[in-house]
Amino acid sequence: MSLRAAGAAIQELRNEMKMAIIEINEVKYQYVSKYHTVEALRGINTKFERERYYALQGPSGSGKTTLLSLIALLDLPTKGTITYDGVSMAKLNPAGHRRKNVAVIYQSLNLLPQLTVAENVMYPMELNKIKTKDAGKRAHELIESVGLTDSEFSRFPYMLSGGQQQRVAIARALGTPAKVILADEPTGNLDGENSRIISSLLKSLAHEKGYCVIVATHDDSVAHEADEILHMTDGMIMR
């Protein structure tokens, strides 16, 4: 292969990596009950790329969590389309999408209390049929990568601080093949110092590891770390 051809191939690969991994087109969503209908999203148009850290900001009820839920394929839009890597999410298996494409980090963490730190991080790997020995080795690498030490590996979640538990939740997310990380108020229960640590960690995952990281947050210090802030009001993104 000539140098020119090799250069063109590299540039094509770079362009592919910069393409939007998530595209949202005219998305609307309604919560319908017996007594009323709530317009949670009112025509969202946006996209999210790899290697970027995004913040969704807005008051409670503005649609942040609903948008994350649709990207996680916990439901489908009432109208409009969401694509993952160019494929309509309506064609994807929801459970498979959450195992392989997106990883969700909740404010409530959802760590399994009966499992140790290492076992919590191993759990999604074992769901993806990774051998226990290999999952254990990878779990230890990931736990160390988020700043925890050997002494925490065998502890249970209740034995850790809030900031440490959030790091475990991030390590668990990294144990999946997903390249999109969705975080819903990940610093909501943390003090200022731990909030900065978690925000810095999420940003480094985008810039250094190539993840697309989307965070819904009320925390201005977290949002200001983002490459792009999307302000949401009444189910719309305000440009």
Kindly state the tokens that stand for 97.
């999408």
Structural domains of the chain, with CATH:
50-74+92-238 (3.40.50.300)
Average pLDDT for residues 211-235, to the nearest whole number?
Answer: 93
Confidence at residue 9, expressed as pLDDT on a 0 to 100 scale: 55
The mean pLDDT of the chain is 89
Cα–Cα distance for residue pair 28/160, rounded to 1 Å = 40
Contact 184, 105 (CB under 8 A): yes
Q: Indicate if the pLDDT at residue 5 is higher than 70.
A: no
**Cα–Cα distance measured from residue 142 to residue 168, given in angstroms and rounded to the nearest whole number:** 9
Asked if residue 165 has pLDDT above 80, the reply is yes
Mean pLDDT value across residues 48-74: 95
